């Protein structure tokens, strides 16, 4: 049986999203049907709507979600109806060449539901990041449903499903930030501020937040930035050098998705430091760097997909840190909104008014 619920759909490139009836099938083997409780509005949803990810319209948006397992298909053992879960966009397959090499966070065939969710007329939907959770119900592979403590607030927990994990993981896993390190984060939106929180958790000594917007920089301080730089009035590379004894930072994290900030991150690094690109560029973006600088500065230039996380390992850990009062996830929730308010939330994001608007059901 298919369930008819309302979902937020991007039908065409650049057009406003609409709330429309969609059909969500009952779970088949290995699948889980999740009743969504909360879903954050991430910049990646906006990238989908803009056609910057791919052209597989119509998209069912929403991918930063928590909810309760409604029912499961045959053979599902990791979750049961009633479990409180965060939905992950990575569920390692266990058999691809990355999984077999012991680096499952690089899995090449991460699992998703095999049955499609559709529009009322049967047109298959492309769920954002294989999730599609701006809807009362969503169908995922059971491996995407990660059980966490139900004591967490659904709004805060949902954010762990994308932006928070991407940012914290960019610092902790990809950047391998350690005790005493200096870190700069370019772009202090939801993802960048999570990187700042991750750098603090990892024991960084100097944490520099860079943004164009003073509101974002004020939030960065609350998450643990020791210094902030407004790049609209100050050259961030020069300023970062000044703040680090003339050397630059050990780890520079780019959380905008822009060639200019990537280049700033590249030059703001100390000798043999690490650049981590977590911001998602659009297909037209290009960068030119002197090859000699890439060689001479040494270190590493890395990309961070989902903070190189393993959801089943990392989500429960982050929720425990939150419940212990060591990671303030509630502070990322700028506002709660209804499912009909996603388009307006995109505009608030573009105007820099929010870290996260979160749809609650």
Query: Which residues between 32 and 51 bind Zn ion (CB under 5 A)?
Result: 42, 44
Burial of 6 (0-12, 13-18, 19+ CB in 10 A): middle
Closer to Zn ion by Cβ: residue 158 or 236 = 158
Per partner kind, with CB cut-offs from 5 to 8 A, the member of ligand NAD, Zn ion, none near residue 33 is none
- Rounded Cα distance, 255 and 211, in Å: 10
The conformation of residue 166, written as its DSSP 8-state character, comes to H
Site map 264..283 versus ligand NAD, x via CB under 6 A: --------------xxx---
Per partner kind, with CB cut-offs from 5 to 8 A, the member of Zn ion, ligand NAD, none near residue 349 is ligand NAD
Query: Using CB under 6 A, which of 65, 191, 204, 225 touches ligand NAD?
Result: 191
The angle that helices 236-243 and 259-267 make with each other, rounded to 10 degrees, is: 30
CB of 28 to ligand NAD, least distance (A): 28
Cα distances from 230 to residues 142, 186, 233, 241, 266, in angstroms, run 43, 10, 6, 15, 18
Those residues whose C-beta lies under 8 Å from the C-beta of residue 361, and which sit 6 or more positions away, are 35, 36, 37, 38, 136, 339
Closer to Zn ion by Cβ: residue 99 or 265 = 99
Does 105 contact ligand NAD by CB under 6 A? Answer: no
Query: Using CB under 5 A, which of 2, 19, 20, 96 touches Zn ion?
Result: 96
Query: Which residues between 155 and 174 bind Zn ion (CB under 5 A)?
Result: 162
Q: In a 3-state reduction of DSSP, which class is residue 59?
A: strand
Site map 283..312 versus ligand NAD, x via CB under 6 A: ---------------------xxx------
Does 258 contact Zn ion by CB under 5 A? Answer: no
- Rounded Cα distance, 208 and 236, in Å: 10
Does 253 contact ligand NAD by CB under 6 A? Answer: no
Closer to ligand NAD by Cβ: residue 267 or 305 = 305
Q: In a 3-state reduction of DSSP, which class is residue 150?
A: coil
* Buried/exposed 251-280: b ≥16 CB within 10 Å, e otherwise: bbbbbbbbeebbbbbbbbbbeebbbbbbbb
CB of 129 to Zn ion, least distance (A): 7
Query: Using CB under 6 A, which of 25, 209, 248, 257 touches ligand NAD?
Result: 257
The conformation of residue 49, written as its DSSP 8-state character, comes to H
Query: Which residues between 217 and 246 bind ligand NAD (CB under 6 A)?
Result: 231
| Pairing relationship of beta strands 18-25 and 2-10 according to DSSP bridges | antiparallel
Query: Which residues between 336 and 355 bind ligand NAD (CB under 6 A)?
Result: 349, 352
* Buried/exposed 95-131: b ≥16 CB within 10 Å, e otherwise: eeebbeeeebbebeebbbbeebbbbeeeeebbbbbbb
Closer to ligand NAD by Cβ: residue 136 or 239 = 239
Find the DSSP H helices in 205-280: 214-223, 236-243, 259-267
Does 44 contact ligand NAD by CB under 6 A? Answer: yes
Closer to ligand NAD by Cβ: residue 213 or 335 = 213
Closer to ligand NAD by Cβ: residue 42 or 208 = 42
Does 188 contact ligand NAD by CB under 6 A? Answer: yes
Query: Which residues would be at the binding site for ligand NAD (CB under 6 A)?
Result: 42-44, 47, 162-163, 166, 186-192, 210-213, 216, 231, 255-258, 260-261, 278-280, 304-306, 349, 352
């Amino acid at each position: 049986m298919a369930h008819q619920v309302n979902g937020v759909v991007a039908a065409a490139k650049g057009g406003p999203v609409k709330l429309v009836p969609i059909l969500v099938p009952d779970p088949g083997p290995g699948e889980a049907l999740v009743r969504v409780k909360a879903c954050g509005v991430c910049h990646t949803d906006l990238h989908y709507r803009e056609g910057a990810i791919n052209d597989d319209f119509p998209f069912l948006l929403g991918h930063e979600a928590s909810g309760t397992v409604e029912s499961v298909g045959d053979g599902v053992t990791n979750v049961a109806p009633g479990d409180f879960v965060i939905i992950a966009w990575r569920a390692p397959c266990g058999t691809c060449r990355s999984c077999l090499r012991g680096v499952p966070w690089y899995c090449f065939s991460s699992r998703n539901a095999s049955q499609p969710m559709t529009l009322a007329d049967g047109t298959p939907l492309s769920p954002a990041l294989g999730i599609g959770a701006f809807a009362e119900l969503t169908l995922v592979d059971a491996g995407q449903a990660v059980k966490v403590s139900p004591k967490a607030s659904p709004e805060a927990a949902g954010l762990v499903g994308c932006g928070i994990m991407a940012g914290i993981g960019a610092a902790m896993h990809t950047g391998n930030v350690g005790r005493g390190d200096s870190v700069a984060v370019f772009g202090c939106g939801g993802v960048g501020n999570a990187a700042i929180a991750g750098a603090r958790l990892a024991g960084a000594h100097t944490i520099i937040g860079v943004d164009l917007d003073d509101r974002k920089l004020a939030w960065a301080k609350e998450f643990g930035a020791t210094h902030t730089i407004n790049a609209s009035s100050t050259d961030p590379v020069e300023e970062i050098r000044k703040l680090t004894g003339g050397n630059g930072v050990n780890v520079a994290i780019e959380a905008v998705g822009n060639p200019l900030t990537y280049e700033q991150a590249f030059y703001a690094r100390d000798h043999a430091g690490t650049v981590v690109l977590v911001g998602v560029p659009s297909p037209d973006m290009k960068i030119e760097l002197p090859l000699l600088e890439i060689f001479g500065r040494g270190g590493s230039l890395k990309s961070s997909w989902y903070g190189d996380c393993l959801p089943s390992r990392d989500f429960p850990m982050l929720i425990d840190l939150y419940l212990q009062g060591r990671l303030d996830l509630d502070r990322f929730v700028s506002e709660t909104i209804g499912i009909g308010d996603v388009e307006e939330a995109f505009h608030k994001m573009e105007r820099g008014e929010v870290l996260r608007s979160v749809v609650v059901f």
